[in-house]
Amino acid sequence: MNPDFIKLTEITKVYPMGKTGFPALKGISLSIDRGEFIAIMGPSGSGKSTLMNIIGCLDSPTSGTYLLDGEDIGKNSDKELTRIRNKRIGFIFQSFNLLGRQSAMDNVLLPLLYSCTTLRKNRKRITTEALERVGLSTKLRNKPSEMSGGEQQRVAIARALVNNPEIICADEPTGNLDSQTSHEIMEILRGLNKKGRTIILVTYEADIAGYTQRIIRMKDGGIIKE
Amino acid sequence: MLGMVIGVFAITTVLSISKGGKELILSEFLTAGTNIVMAFNAQMETRTDKFAYLTEDQVMTMKEIIPQVDDLSPVHFMQIPLKVKGKMKQITVFGVPENFFRVRGIKASSGRMFTKEEVNRYEKVCVVGKELFYDLFGKTKKLGQEIKVEGTYFRVIGVMGHKMEFGPINVNTAIGIPSSCAMRLLGSRDIYAVQFLAKEGVSIPLLKKRIKEHLRQIFGGRDDFDVHSVDELLSMLDKVMGIISMVLGSIAGISILVGGIGIMNIMLVSVRERTREIGIRKACGATKGNILLQFLIESLILCSIGGGMGILASVGLVLIISIMFKTAFFISSLAIILGFGFSCLVGIFFGVYPAYIAAKLNPVEALRYE
Ligand SMILES: Nc1ncnc2c1ncn2[C@@H]1O[C@H](COP(=O)(O)OP(=O)(O)OP(=O)(O)O)[C@@H](O)[C@H]1O
Ligand SMILES: [Mg+2]
């Protein structure tokens, strides 16, 4: 077994901007073990989301290597990155990012639709179970506009869970919620971590970061403190 | 979208009319066969002796002289004034032997045609074209009324079924009487028109040539008679159809182009409006192919709706045409399939670009999009 589940070495990201481009990440090296619950903190514009997107295979680094479970992600094609996103990674965003015109069920179904491995007749059961796990068994048919922010974020968590991913990337999941709801969401995430999932969390709030085992602080595209 | 509707409408209509219409006209002639040739004096309008004519003997010997002729019937003409729907009208009366109807493929839509005996006995009976019969007697199917022709009353014994107009007579609006009676009324045995039936397997152009040559001989080298055949009429019809098809076809082409570009625009706007949705789908594991397919299907649906509306409009128009011309409904299924297929093709063609744009969106940027 490879001890380093996620291993980033000298990762840089330069956004195309102006003549030279904007360096959002300036050589990040970081290792995360399987089953860790880790928080990334730092001021706005420090590159937290950029780093998160690279870990989540939504974006690829300008240079550096990213080993996920020993596999060099940089060598993968777009199609393989998509497959990894679908099977191994679940995303939770600050703005929930649900499909507004579809019900909770249909939103949660989305990753299953694209994975193509789940039998049609099992889909309903699996999505219902995922929504039950986040305590939304009574709101299966509700549209996002018919739910509170906390409920919407729980739908997003259910969607992130439904394909049973190893990693959950949560970019400021509590940024749009009051503190009461934030703690409910964090309890759910902690529960998921207890069941062995690796969770990477971006947040500003110290008490939210308190739920995690390790905190990484970033500034100007670099890690300043672990 | 409107362009799509118009375009597919035009395509389906063109195909229906040119294919279905031609089939209909062909079937109209098929009962008579396309093997009829008509020779007639083109200057003839009224009964007068100034024009070239044929004698009975000359006509009858043509059957022996020209081997390609199976059967023939001389036709006598006159115009009579008749009160139709309250208005005086000039109506064509043609005098023919009984075989005329068989040669021409005319069947009685009610009653019967006259017989050889009736011709021989100078029986005062007549058959009336369908349209004229309706105009004269209304919808009553009752036969037995009498029509006054040149002071003599003729009893209606049958209605001639619908036939395409061909040569100097339109049987739909004419009255047919036994040739014997016609000659007596006209006071002359001059023949201004002859209808020929070609033998099975004989080339019609050849027969026409033989008849023409023979008539030229009779009239001392002059072409006093015109010789026409049904297939000529068909080729003329083909030409007219061709022109209609071309005009409608170019309308179709332009509207489909405009419609297609419209659809592309709609799709581009839709892709922009749904950028965030695309980002979400990609984050959930949608591949480029998934997104491409999703937007292609959407543009396909848009185009099919447009196409479907166009087809409906076309079916409606063809239905109206068929009612107006009292013909059978002749929308062709091929036209519908082609029209629909074409709209789908346009949907794919003009949908590819927007779908491609959607598919290659960067997920991170798409998610950030407001
Ligand atoms: N697509 C882009 N093009 C150009 N610059 C970008 C792009 N995306 C991000 N940046 C810049 O990169 C830097 C890091 O962005 P990032 O979103 O990672 O910051 P963050 O730490 O997540 O900030 P916040 O806490 O406000 O979400 C910022 O200065 C931002 O302006
Ligand atoms: Mg951010």
Residues B163 and B207 in one domain: yes
The pLDDT tens digits along chain B (370 residues) read 777 788 788 777 777 776 666 666 666 555 555 678 888 886 655 445 456 778 888 888 888 888 888 888 898 888 888 888 888 888 889 999 998 888 888 888 888 999 999 999 999 999 999 888 888 888 777 888 888 888 889 999 999 887 766 777 788 889 999 999 998 888 888 888 888 888 888 888 888 888 888 888 888 777 778 888 877 777 777 787 788 778 877 887 888 888 888 889 999 999 999 999 999 999 999 999 999 999 999 999 988 888 888 888 888 888 887 787 666 666 677 778 888 888 888 889 999 999 999 999 999 999 988 7
- Which residues, at least 6 apart from B269, have a Cβ–Cβ distance to it below 8 Å? none
In a domain, A212, yes or no: yes
In terms of domains, do B126 and B173 share one?
yes
As for how many domains chain A has, the answer is 1
Q: Backbone phi, then psi, for A126, in 5-degree steps?
A: -65, -45
Q: Does A58 reside within a domain?
A: yes
pLDDT at B47: 44
> Domain for residue B103, yes or no?
yes
pLDDT of residue B104: 81
| CA B148 to chain CA mean position, Å | 34
B363 and A58 within 8 Å at the Cβ level: the answer is yes
Query: Does B255 lie in the same domain as B220?
Result: no
Q: Tell me, yes or no, whether B112 lies in a domain.
A: yes
Rounded CA-CA distance B366/A224 in Å is 30
Q: Identify whether A1 is part of a domain.
A: no
Are B196 and B244 found together in one domain? no
Closest C-alpha to A179, from A212, A214, A203: A203
The CA distance from A92 to A112, in Å, is 16
The whole-number pLDDT of residue B324 equals 77
How high is the pLDDT of residue B24?
Answer: 63
**Backbone torsions φ then ψ of A203, nearest 5 degrees:** -155, 160
- Whether residue A107 is contained in a domain is answered as yes
Count the neighbouring beta carbons within 10 Å of the beta carbon of residue A4. Answer: 15
Residues B249 and B211 in one domain: no
Same domain, B96 and B75: yes
Q: What's the complex ipTM?
A: 0.92
Q: Determine, for residues A114 and B286 on separate chains, whether the beta-carbon distance falls below 8 Å.
A: yes
Give residues 235 to 294 of B whose Cβ lies within 8 Å of A. Answer: 276-277, 279-288, 290
Asked whether residue A137 is assigned to any structural domain, the reply reads yes
Question: Across the interface, do B284 and A111 touch by the CB < 8 Å criterion?
Answer: yes
Closest CA to A203 of A225, A218, A224, A222: A218
Residues B98 and B193 in one domain: yes
Is A163 at the interface with chain B, CB within 8 A? Answer: yes
Nearest beta carbon to residue B287 from set A82, A93, A159: A82
Q: Looking at the complex, does the CB of residue B364 fall below 8 Å from at least one CB of chain A?
A: yes
The values of phi and psi at residue B104, to 5°, are: -85, -10
CA distances from A114 to A87, B166, B280 (A): 10, 67, 12
Asked whether residue B122 falls in the same domain as residue B153, the answer is yes
- Please state the atom number of ligand 1 nearest to the C-alpha of residue A25: 14
Q: Is B362 on the interface with A (CB under 8 A)?
A: yes
| Closest residue in B to A15 (Cα–Cα) | B365
Residue B76's DSSP bridge partners are B95
**Strand ranges (E), B186-237:** 193-198, 225-229
Residue B86 sits in the same domain as residue B219: yes
- Whether residue A87 and residue B290 make contact (CB cut-off 8 A), yes or no, is no
Segments of chain A with pLDDT less than 50 = none
Provide the domain count of chain B. Answer: 2
Cβ atoms of B11 and B227 closer than 8 Å: no
Q: Which of B162, B193, B224 is the last residue of a domain?
A: B224
Same domain, B283 and B329: yes
Residue A10 located in a structural domain: yes
| Residue A87 in domain | yes
Amino acid at A110: L
Ligand 1 in reach of A114 Cβ (< 6 A) = no
If you count them, how many residues does chain B have? 370
Mutual angle of helices B275-283 and A78-88, in 10-degree steps: 70
What CATH number is given to the structural domain containing A149?
Answer: 3.40.50.300
H/E stretch holding A8 reads strand A6-15
Same domain? B196 vs B285: no
Last residue of a domain, one of B167, B198, B224: B224
Residue pair B136/B84 in contact by the 8 Å Cβ criterion: yes
Of B284, B287, B367, the CB nearest to A79: B287
pLDDT of residue B46: 46
User: Is B33 inside a domain boundary?
Assistant: no
Boundary-marking domain end, from B172, B191, B224 = B224
Claim: this prediction has a pTM higher than 0.80: no
Per the structure, the complete domain to which residue A199 belongs is given by: 6-225
Determine if residue A57 is left, alpha or beta; phi over 0 gives left, psi from -120 to 50 gives alpha, anything else beta. left
Q: Is residue B169 part of a domain?
A: yes
pLDDT, tens only, A74-124: 888 888 999 999 999 999 999 999 999 999 999 999 999 998 776 788 889
Question: Which residues form the domain of B131?
Answer: 42-224
- B279/A82 CB distance under 8 A: no
Query: Is the C-beta atom of A95 inside 6 A of ligand 1?
Result: no
Q: Is A45 in the pocket of ligand 1 (CB under 6 A)?
A: yes
Domain-located, residue B36: no
Is position A22 within any domain? yes
Instruction: Among A19, A41, A49, A54, name the best residue to mutate to test ligand 1's pocket (greatest count of ligand atoms within 8 A of Cβ).
Output: A49
Q: Counting beta carbons within 10 angstroms of the beta carbon of residue B201, is it exposed (0 to 12), middle (13 to 18) or buried (19 or more)?
A: exposed
Whole-number Å distance, alpha carbon A40 to ligand 2 midpoint, is: 10
Same domain, B138 and B286: no
